[in-house]
Amino acid sequence: MINHEQKEHDPLALGLTRAPLFMGVNLRVFFGNVVLCALISINAQSWWGIPLFIFIHLLAVRLSIKEPDYFNLKFNSFIKTPPVRNFWYVGFNTYEPW
């Protein structure tokens, strides 16, 4: 049984170890979204980049509510986890390294 009253929470340590957020999303995701939508607006010579920015930003906020590093975790799992033969059949990596 876990006693929740005896857990210690240090707000300073939590604040220093969490990812920096800007407007509810990770800093890298925000500036990547700004650059992408600005380039689309410049290239298309229209204002469609602004609604696209709002849509992508709201989607990123929704995905980042529980885990601020959601996109970083997904990116690292995509890069560092190699595909295996039976992934689509089983749904996870069944081959263990020996």
pLDDT band at 13 (very low <50, low <70, confident <90, very high): confident
Side-chain half-sphere CA neighbours of 52 within 13 A: 15
**Stronger pLDDT, 95 or 23, i.e. the higher one:** 23
Tokens of 39: 């380039």
Tokens of 4: 């929740």
Say what the pTM is: 0.66
DSSP 10: -
Helices 70-80 + 27-44 axis angle, to 10: 90
Residue where the block lists tokens 């997904």 = 74
Provide the residue ranges of all domains of the chain, joining segments of one domain with +. 19-67
**Stronger pLDDT, 57 or 92, i.e. the higher one:** 57
**Interior angle at CA 15, CA 59 and CA 72, nearest 5:** 40
- pLDDT, tens digit, for every residue of 24-76? 898 999 999 999 999 999 999 989 989 999 999 999 999 888 888 888 888 88
